[in-house]
Structure 1
Amino acid sequence: MLGTYRKALETPSAGLLRLRSSGVSVLLMLVVISAPAQEPAPAIQSRIARVEQGLSSRVVVKGAPGQKASIASRMAFHDVPAVSIALINDGQLEWARAYGVLDAAGQRAATPASLFQAGSISKTISALGALRMVEQGKLSLDAPANVQLSSWKIPDNRFTQQRPVTLRGLLNHSAGMNVHGFYGYAQGQPVPSLLQVLDGLPPANSEAVRVEATPGTGWRYSGGGYSVVQLMMTESAGRPFPELMQALVLGPLDMKDSTFALTLPPTWQERAASAHDSNGTPLAGGWHVYPQSAAAALWTTPTDLANVILDIQQAQSGKPGKVLSSAMTSTMLRRGQGEYGLGLYVEQIGDGTSFSHSGGTDGFRSQLYGYTHTGQGVVVMTNSDNGAALIDEILVSVAAEYGWPEFQITEKLALAPDPVANAMFAGNYTLAGKPAQVIAEGDRLYLQSELFAKRPMQLFAESKTRFFMTAQDMTVEFQQTAGGTPGSFLLKRGSSTYVATPAREPPSR
């Protein structure tokens, strides 16, 4: 099951990693740089070139050579067939570029008009639509949700008896709803109706959407909650969700290459990227289908999503927005529970606010990021399960070129490797209920955990027992042991700490 990520996830380090030579050579030869019809000025061309050559992990080893890399080389490293970027600067779309191929097997070149699944960025667009309906008087932010539903009601229980679910809570992920994310449905599989999804009935492959905590008392990401929003919107408007969203958001923002339709028209399918798993293999049928439209079904381009950033920036500045008023935009960007407003992650940055959302469906990863006070932003979309790591490296390069206050590079000093100590720490572990390995290879030490990355991540020593990783601020603290057997370790990532314990040996036969 795929959920959201606040910022892109782990980028593995070189060393133990080995790329498939055939796949890499094909990708590097076919990297395509596609531009809008009107080429940017030479000064902007130079900025684009520096972004393309300036990729880096967020954490680097102090004094290590070759800290910067090209988009082409990092696409090959991460097995990402295509990436598309739209860059906003000074309150306007400054440039758009696409790289690579839409299908690793078919070799269709990516262009800025290529379509990608946006995953959970769908929630941002859906929230815009719901808030517009609030301004139109068709929905209420704070009236009980069940008063605004007819064909299906949120089942009451001891949690809803204390406080009702509201649209505000659903959009903020503070309604106490379950179902983090959705699996989607492969081509040819039966696709459930929205009501079957809400009740977890076949052919739905997710559990029933229910309230599992008192609404308004905490933050809990819930794609299931956005499916309730979808039903509220369609019942109020009496229109199918794709048609409704076209009228509420996509049309007003001139998002001509965007749709919530579950089946793409044939001419759109020709421009659609195929999804790829972490091994670079295309998904059968090209992509999965998501009837949970408000949560995950948007097909779009970075250029279209850039229009969303620009409209939010304009409305927040006090000028009329094409979708929401300035007052409602401020409501959308005001934190409720967690780090979330209504449909967006928001963070106070100096005199303004950053707003963002990431997206992930099977075989696609994307990121939308904008600032209210600087007129800057970016949208990056990829067609690979490995896309999050590449996106993070692109954000570092963009931030360095355009003077962003975030995504700065941190240098850390690494001690000389100790092969004897590395061998003592190596072994099989259980990390957050999942198998993990610590691998010693020569004088290098690696952590393999699919919780963070498919490939092994190199560990760099800060002390005899404490190690850091590149790409983000993750550290591992090993417990000292006697007799050379692995002990437990603590993995710290941001404000979260995970405990890893030695895995039990499989029983002998």
Structure 2
Amino acid sequence: MASRPTMDTELLIKLERLITKNARLSSHASVTSVLQDLGTPTVSLAILDGEKILPHCFTAGSDDTSTLFQACSISKPVVSVLTFKLIEAGKLSLHTSIAEYLPTSAVEALETTATKGMAKFITISQLLSHTSGLETSGSQGFPGYDVSKNANGHYRAALPDLAEALEGQWPSNTLPIRLKDWPGHVFNYSGGGTGVLQLIIEAVMDAPFTELMDKYVFKPLVMKRSTYVIPEEDGLNESTKEGKQGSGNYARAYYNGYTSCEAPHRVNPEQSAAGLWTTPSDLLTLVSAIQSSLHTDTGFLPKTLAAYMLKEVQSGMAHAWFITPNHFGHGGSNMPGWKCNLLASLTNKRALAVMINSAEGAKVFWKVQAALFYLLGWEKASNFWYERNCVVPFADVFAVTPYETILAPWSGDWKEQEREWMVELVVEGGVPWLKVGQMPKQRLCVAAHAKEEYQDGSKIIVDLVCKGGVEVLIRLVEDKEGKPMMEMWNGNTGSVVMMEKV
């Protein structure tokens, strides 16, 4: 198999330089040391630009661009593609009752005494769009099971099958999946609904789910590094200290950038909802096929089915894909240490996938994604339902800040609305700084994220961030009357505060 082209050298140099210049300690001179300090040993990513998929992997260990990561809830939209392939084959119907596919006992298991007779009104469309009325699996989603062996050679946890997991009884560690609302009423994210869909697919096709994914999706698209099969113990890569790659080249979970979890990964019997292992490149292979299906008559899916899969049902949710006017995608987070995001354009062949293997890596994860959009010059994507509104990006220390004359209207003291907390914006020698009382001033640099526009007539002049320390973004805005305004984004609290000129 020919190796994929690597990320464009110029882009990679810019990204590495951007990350290293945001080191919080002067002793962190490499990209991996900065990423470890921020919370993750590995960041694996891939960019789709036109027909090219360009991968790269930053790692302190033995991971590489072929290393498999848990795709977490991105498992769900991948299953949606299988579902629509089965609809194309005439095996499933989107708006047919689940009672047509499951035994009566399985349908009634989703009901309480008071909701008896309601589950038969659930459709496959509702399972995919999270409008089935089924509850979530609990506060932790699907936390998975530690099936590694202890010192005595015994498994640490019993592993339920999918039906037992949905029932919520021993040995399941989640709540039972039952109706808590009317089918079709409102969007309520339910991984349990995806589990029910897996039961339907296996019953209709009379074959294991993993084999069906291979037959209908992975093999036709040549996604050779994608599987829902549980990895063997010797397939996992060792911790960063040893740096040895396992036979299957599977990443292992970490708490932070340095310490691996006791369980290298947890097993999800809810395979369709959280059990996919894959690479960013394979995810973009799938995305590219979907994008081609939207705009050609010879795509992986018929054009009408591809469009219907990505048609919004409720609250920014299509059929297992989150949707905005210009983008589709999905994110994911699995215990103990997996996070990922997939974002794709609806109008052209552009997409980005980022995967990490750390519980504490969310901050660096979003920063890297924002930096790539910035460096590529891509338009800002509207936030999906699950995304934070306030992410403080990396500082671009090489970007030229606006001239002092432009910043002059914002110079001086500002205070938070409804609080007495004061900051002062000063410009010295053409360089903007942020001061608070007698504390050391913080240099401000241009924020490394995509440009944004307001729709109310206000104009964003510049976004400035503190370099390598204080997690704050200062947005300088000119309202429609030309009055200077200031927003302060706090990366620790996730809040955006309007400031008042003193």
In the superposition, the TM-score normalised over structure 1's length comes to 0.69
The equivalent position to 1:76 in structure 2, one of 36, 50, 53, is 36
CA apart distance, 1:458: 4.8
Q: How does 1:9-408 map to 2 (within 5 A)?
A: 37=3, 44-54=8-18, 71-72=31-32, 74-93=34-53, 95-101=54-60, 107=61, 109-150=62-103, 152-153=106-107, 154-155=110-111, 157-158=114-115, 161=118, 164-180=121-137, 181-187=141-147, 188-264=156-232, 266-267=234-235, 270=246, 271-278=249-256, 280-322=258-300, 324-349=301-326, 354-362=327-335, 363-406=337-380
Offset at residue 76 of structure 1 (A): 2.5
Contact 1:234-1:241 within 8 A present in 2 as well = yes
Cα distance between partner residues in 1 of 2:36 and 2:354: 17
Distance in structure 2 (CA, Å) of the matches to 1:416 and 1:200: 56
The answer to whether the Cα contact below 8 Å between 1:92 and 1:375 also exists between their aligned partners in 2 is no
Residue type at the aligned position of 2:201: M
Gaps of 5+ in 2: 148-155, 238-245, 383-391, 394-400, 402-406, 423-435, 441-468, 476-486
Q: Deviations over 1:125-175 (max 9, x none)?
A: 111111211121111211111221126113265496498111101100111
For 2:208 and 2:134, how far apart are their aligned partners in 1? 24
1:32-77 deviation digits (Å, cap 9, x = unpaired): xxxx846559xx3112222333459xxx9xxxxx9xx985354133
Q: Is the 1:230–1:294 Cα contact (8 Å) retained in structure 2?
A: yes
Deviates more, 1:232-241 or 1:257-266: 257-266
Q: What is the CA–CA distance in structure 1 between the aligned matches of 2:63 and 2:297, rounded to whole Å?
A: 35
Residues 458 and 85 from structure 1, CA distance in 2 versus in 1: closer, same or farther, beyond 3 angstroms?
closer
Contact 1:85–1:98, Cα closer than 8 Å, also in 2: yes
Percent identity of equivalent pairs: 25
SS across alignment from 2:213 = helix
SS in 1 for 2:363: helix
Return the offset for 1:374: 2.1
Cα deviation, residue 359, structure 1: 1.2
Tell me if structure 2 keeps the 8 A contact 1:417–1:461: no
Alignment of 1:403-482 (within 5 A): 403-406=377-380, 458=471, 468-470=489-491, 474-475=495-496
In structure 1, how many angstroms separate the alpha carbons of the residues matched to 2:88 and 2:204? 13
With over 3 angstroms needed to count, the CA separation of the structure-2 counterparts of 1:141 and 1:110, relative to structure 1, is: same
- CA-to-partner distance for each residue in 1:80-117, whole Å, 9 max, x for gaps? 01111111101321x2111113xxxxx4x221011111
Name the CA distance, whole Å, in 2 between partners of 1:116 and 1:248. 21
How big is the shift at 1:207? 0.7
Task: Give unmatched runs, 5+ long, in structure 1.
Answer: 1-35, 61-65, 102-106, 426-439, 445-455, 479-509
Scaled by the length of structure 2, the TM-score of the pair is 0.70
Structure 1 moving runs of 4+ over 6 Å: 408-415, 421-425, 459-462
Distance 1:460 1:406, change over 3 A: closer
Deviation at 1:415, TM superposition (A): 7.3
Q: Structure 2 CA distance, aligned partners of 1:213 and 1:358? A: 25
Say if 1:414 and 1:298 are closer, same or farther in 2 by CA, change over 3 A: farther
Q: Return the alpha-carbon distance in structure 2 between the equivalents of residues 217 and 137 of structure 1.
A: 27
Quote how far apart the aligned CAs of 1:206 are: 0.4
- Asked whether the equivalents of residues 160 and 214 of structure 1 are also in contact (C-alpha less than 8 Å), the reply is no
- The question of whether the paired residues in 2 share the 8 Å contact of 1:78 and 1:390 is answered with yes
What SS class does the counterpart of residue 359 from structure 1 fall into? strand
What number of residue pairs does the alignment pair up?
Answer: 394
How far does residue 460 in structure 1 lie from its aligned partner after superposition? 7.6
Asked whether the 8 Å contact 2:46–2:354 carries over to 1, the reply is yes
Find the aligned partners of 1:277 and 1:265 in 2 and give their Cα distance: 19
Aligned-residue offset at 1:468:
3.2
Distance 2:411 2:33 in 1: 25
**8 Å contact 2:311–2:318 — kept in the other structure?**
yes
Taking the aligned partners of 1:52 and 1:160, their CA distance within structure 2 comes to 58
